[in-house]
A and B are shown apart, each in its own frame.
Chain A
């Protein structure tokens, strides 16, 4: 026991340079993240402008109860989870597959072109992108409608009017816009793969697909596990602006999510209810954090990769 403790202090002393280097980042997050975190208390208060954060009266869990008992609570939780889980299931693996395929391409020039072009849509702002999605999917004048009419001679079915299709449109348009950018981290990781491994494997008679399975995938596995953990810890956050812009009265039952709903309540009453929005984001964060911790634990058990 005594020797163990002794060795710990020794180990700490040995690494003093590392602690010194960590000092600045640590001070930094204490000031810019942990000090303001005190503001979270307003989730349990009724925030009022003139009384400030500390002077406002305590109300206990009233803000949380208000949120849980809101009219559409079940519906918006269900929609939020549907969109985020679907999104995770699709948008997590696709960039990996894309990066693996791209990495294996032989034509360097074509490869670079694809890489650059697929990265661009990420920078097109949501407003423009949603406008474009609605235009493409228009059943009369859009590309979808025009092609349908061209082949069948009839006016196409209005897919924007069917609320059940909302989640597909939301998720797959996200793939359309985000795959290139999300793949960057994997492309960078794949660039680090030892080329001699490939050479050896080729001599041993492995084909490209086998090399992808046995060399490339293990190489990005640590990165992928971390990205998965991070994605799981982000489940309660769904792109607010995009959903809001894509909503219409025929899909509202499927498209109203926590953030859009809260936004609308605030808009209607004209008052920024900071306490309520803090309570809701706290609720989201707690769930996200728990999920992340579970994913982290699981990943560590499975392949030894974890965040902490």
Chain B
């Protein structure tokens, strides 16, 4: 009885300490989020001259108005959604299949194949050969240029494989093999349903990468109708990063930066909405992982 009380005290202390630490960190991280939102509702002048600290200054909807009236932004938004959804679907299916196969300890040569994948994480031929390849395949200036290259990220493959290897008990496979289950049906019927957590993680990782990527679009596309949102966002973000001494008319550049400043934060907020909306859905699947434990038990 006496001992139990001591534990209670320890637990209380533990919870108090963790709550304090997490709350402090939470507040620290909350700050940039609030800042970006406040800035998006402030006048461009206030943002540009560093007047926004925590709350909106000279409350204004100017930025949002401009963004909502710009057709290209919506076009970009639609394109980005398309690239993200289709691209992520390709990524996740390819990665899961490979990760499952490579998680099987009874697969001869799996370390070598894994090495093959890992190697691509470090050594790539660089921009030129990739560009030539995309051109030869006829993907240039098509949606395929953004969907196909990078369909398997070695990093995510490794993460997924580790996950499958460690959460799906080996006994389960042995049992299913005794039942005459083939490797393929085992994957479909047992592994996939048990991998919801890692699928959620992969969807998140790949989805975020697609949503944020701009470089491939920048080099492979030249039709504005195919541009993702990030290219428009980048144009705006870079506008006040350009060194005025390198442009023909620096006075104009200074004004351009000001115009860009008005819509910059509104555009950032809008571009973050999808990644925010998807997170709660992803979070739900994290808890489903509990199931694995019960099967194991």
In the assembled complex, the CB of B24 is this many whole angstroms from the nearest CB of chain A, namely 11
Contact residues of A with B, CB < 8 Å? Answer: 8, 11-12, 15, 17-19, 21-22, 24-26, 28-29, 31-40, 42, 47, 53, 98, 101-102, 104-106, 112-121, 123-125, 127-129, 132, 135, 138, 141, 143, 176-177, 179-180, 184-185, 187-189, 191-197, 205-209, 222-223, 226-227, 230, 233, 245, 274, 277-278, 281-282, 285, 288-289, 292, 305, 307-308
Which of B67-75, B76-84, B119-127, B216-224 binds A? B119-127
**Residues A11 and B106 in contact, CB atoms below 8 Å apart:** yes
B172 on the interface (CB 8 Å rule)? no
**Residues A192 and B167 in contact, CB atoms below 8 Å apart:** yes
Which of B56-64, B249-257, B273-281 binds A? B273-281
B113 on the interface (CB 8 Å rule)? yes
Q: With A33-B120, A128-B268 in contact, is A188–B33 under 8 Å at CB?
A: no
- Provide the bound-state CA to CA distance between A289 and B120, in Å: 10
**Residues B35 and A132 in contact, CB atoms below 8 Å apart:** yes
Contact residues of B with A, CB < 8 Å? Answer: 3-4, 7, 10-11, 14-15, 18-19, 21-22, 25-26, 28-30, 32-33, 35-36, 50, 53, 94, 97-98, 100-102, 104, 106-109, 111-130, 132-133, 148-152, 155, 158-159, 162-163, 165-167, 182-184, 187, 197-198, 200-201, 204, 208, 212, 233, 237-238, 241, 264-265, 268, 272, 275-276, 279-280, 283, 286-290, 292-294, 296-297
Q: Which of A22, A117, A127 contacts B30 (CB 8 A)?
A: A117
- Provide the bound-state CA to CA distance between A138 and B51, in Å: 13
Q: Which of B36, B120, B133 contacts A128 (CB 8 A)?
A: B36
Closest 9 CB pairs of A and B: A194-B293, A39-B129, A39-B125, A36-B125, A192-B289, A36-B129, A33-B120, A191-B286, A308-B114
Residues of B within 8 A of A307 (CB): 114, 118, 158
Closest B residue, CB atoms, query A306: B111
**Residues B159 and A32 in contact, CB atoms below 8 Å apart:** no
- 6 A-B pairs with CB atoms under 8 Å apart are A21-B100, A21-B184, A21-B187, A47-B128, A117-B33, A120-B32
Classify the interface of chain B: helix, strand, loop or mixed. helix
**Residues A191 and B197 in contact, CB atoms below 8 Å apart:** yes
